[in-house]
Amino acid sequence: MSDPQPVLAALADPTRRHIYELLNSKGPASASQLATEMPISRQAVSKHLGLLDTAGLVERAASGREVVYSARVEALTDVASWLEKVSHDWDARLGRLERSFE
């Protein structure tokens, strides 16, 4: 399992989460296309896409003069595995605590 920190850090920002959700629900889009659906500039969208790319959450593909981004849902697999492990660990701890009061 790889470190979930970069993905969690990237998705901690509400604007990046929104961009990721748009790409995941509507499909591939350029920064210009995404900017039409957001209250920020194309340059700001591009900056956020760069951070999502660094975290492995999006994939870039050249399309003419533009770059088209698509969501990489596989990037969430490691985070989901980590969350499952943390959840399991907490369940075990709570179970031990519960048994100690019986």
Domain definitions of the chain by residue range: 5-100
pTM above 0.85, yes or no: no
Residue 84 and residue 102: Cα distance in Å, rounded? 27
What string of pLDDT tens digits covers the 102 residues of the chain? 678 899 999 999 999 999 999 999 999 999 999 999 999 999 999 999 999 999 999 999 998 999 999 999 988 988 888 888 888 778 777 788 788 888
Return the C-alpha torsion angle 38, 42, 45, 50, nearest 10.
160
DSSP helix, strand, coil percent of the chain (3-state; round to 5)? 65, 15, 25
Q: Residue 59: CB partners within 8 Å, gap ≥ 6?
A: 53, 69, 70, 72
Which numeric CATH code is attached to 5-100? 1.10.10.10
